Amino acid sequence: MSHAIAIVGLGKIARDQHLPTLAASDRLHLAGIVSGHARDEGAPVAATITELKRQVPELAAVSLCTPPMARTALIKEALALGLDVMVEKPPAASVSVAERYAGMAREAGRALYLTWHSREASGVEPAAQWLSGKTLRRVSVAWKEDVRVWHPGQEWIWEPGIGVFDPGVNALSILTRLVPGTELHGATLKYPADREAPIMADLTMAHGDTAIEAAFSFDQRGPQTWSMTLETDEGTAELREGGGRLFVDDAEVAVPEGTEYGRLYARFADMIGTGAIDADLSPFRLVADAFMLGRHERVGAFRWDD
């Protein structure tokens, strides 16, 4: 059985990841798009979810790919129409808002999936299995990319509370999968002189006696860096390329085939029609803690065309 699903919001992430993944799926198919600026995508286009549901009565679910600041109304609309809901990360503009979503879905009796796509990278579950039974001593994270490449001209990324934590929360989603219960102890957040969100962040965390450090940047030129090193009493594992590759003591380990978004949508296909809720907010809470505990520094002004 193939479920009819709609994409809500047709920006870069939807075009780069969501549309190709749905095109390759045998369990879900693109039944429509909700967007004010969609081109011909081979599916009905509507301005609202309600309008699309009228056009496509068999619509079963929506995947929200809009910026996170205005999703509550969209989730409420979708649930009222009897639709299951999948949400691109970060789930909302604040933790308190995101915490409402599970209750809304539960009351409506519909499935809700707040996704963390980096958790589905091919090396993450093998890394979790490798860590089992070992004593973790130290974790270091380097998550550095160029906002100009991944969010070209998207000013919403500089709204308060977003910035470098848009990619940084990907690293935190892997970290909280591998080291649940991680606590943030301190942070330094660096803000461009002309922006309201940080472009760099250094985090100090811990889990018991395990020291955890993370360095995030949204201003990385040249090769991009998404790595996590986990030192244990029985060797060292390193996740590279956003968790897609796993190395143990510098030797690469075979990992499952498939893509992050392929696994996300497979999981959502399992949830449709069941009323299941997957709404873990532990990575998002670490982001909120960073803003609460972080020291603020100002750096040079940001320019898209630098």
pLDDT tens for 208-227 read 999 999 999 999 999 999 99
Reported as half-sphere exposure (CB side, CA atoms, 13 A), residue 206 has a value of 6
pLDDT of residue 157: 93
Domain annotation for the chain: domains and CATH numbers = 3-114 (3.40.50.720), 122-255+288-299 (3.30.360.10)
pLDDT tens for 51-75 read 999 999 999 999 999 999 889 999 9
CA 62/CA 33 separation, integer angstroms: 9
CA 22/CA 206 separation, integer angstroms: 38
Q: Could you tell me the two tokens for 152?
A: 């070209």
pLDDT of residue 15: 93
Reported as half-sphere exposure (CB side, CA atoms, 13 A), residue 115 has a value of 24
Q: Could you tell me the two tokens for 100?
A: 């409402």
pLDDT of residue 1: 79
Question: pTM value?
Answer: 0.95
The residues of the chain scoring below 70 in pLDDT are 38
Angle at which helix 282-293 crosses helix 95-108, to 10 degrees, equals 160
Enumerate the active-site residues.
Answer: 89
